[in-house]
Amino acid sequence: MVRHDYFDYFITGIIMANTITMCMDYEGASEQYLQILDILNLIFVIIFTSEAVLKLIGLGPTYYFYIDWNKFDFTVVIMSLVSILDVGSFNLTALRIIRVARLLRMIKSSKELQGLLKTLYLAMNNIANVALLFMLIIFTFAVAGMTLFGEIIDGHYGMINKTNLNFRTFYMSANVLIRSSTGESWNQIMHDCVYEKGSIAYFYWMVF
């Protein structure tokens, strides 16, 4: 059991090192620097491939593929191997995005993350109900906003404009409300509405 824990800690450390390596890429990097990153990525692929092979030998194919996490690990390994190959004129470097999937392996080694995901899964119905309620509120106030403030083209305080912030269409109205629900300068938008339409705008925005 202790050896198994040490092995999990080792793999977790490798995943974290792989994460740091992926964050080290930047625009304008030299060819030598990028080559070093590619070599490091190759080392990580070799380590993860070796882990999958050892598990296949130790557990046997039947039991290995019986565990869902092993199926995920095996898929990531295969895609990682494919991503480092060039077949003829078909460049597969676009598949390097699969490297990001390796980060999800940290969930397997963290009981806290597993518990959190399980809680989210069990609460999915309630989350869906909240999302539907939010959509209903946005829909109702977007239609009301079009009726009340659809004629405002240029706000007095410069927030409402013709291009990307107005109530002239349902899409733009909903976009303004979703933005405002995050707290992004909603009071300035309200003042633009108040300047054009009076105190009814205060009621609208306070209720929203």
With cut-offs at 50, 70 and 90, classify the pLDDT of residue 130: very high
In which residue ranges of the chain is CATH 1.20.120.350 found? Answer: 2-122
**How many Å apart are CA 92 and CA 142, to the nearest integer?**
45
Specify the higher pLDDT residue, 176 or 86.
176
pLDDT at position 95 is 58
pLDDT at position 80 is 79
φ/ψ of 101, rounded to 5, equals -65, -25
Share of the chain above pLDDT 90, in %: 35
Averaged pLDDT score across all residues of the chain = 84
Of 29, 31, 49, the closest CA to residue 41 belongs to 49
pLDDT by residue (tens digit) across 71-110? 888 888 888 787 776 554 445 555 566 667 777 777 776 7
Specify the higher pLDDT residue, 86 or 27.
27
The CB density around residue 104, as the number of other CB atoms within 10 Å, is 14
CATH of domain 2-122: 1.20.120.350
Could you tell me the pTM of the whole model?
A: 0.57
pLDDT by residue (tens digit) across 194-204? 999 999 999 99
pLDDT at position 42 is 87
Q: Helical H runs in the chain?
A: 2-22, 31-59, 61-66, 68-83, 105-108, 111-122, 124-149, 170-181, 186-197, 200-207
Report, as an integer, the average pLDDT of 150-178.
Answer: 89
Residues 73/105, Cβ–Cβ less than 8 Å: yes
Report, as an integer, the average pLDDT of 110-135.
Answer: 89
The CB density around residue 29, as the number of other CB atoms within 10 Å, is 13
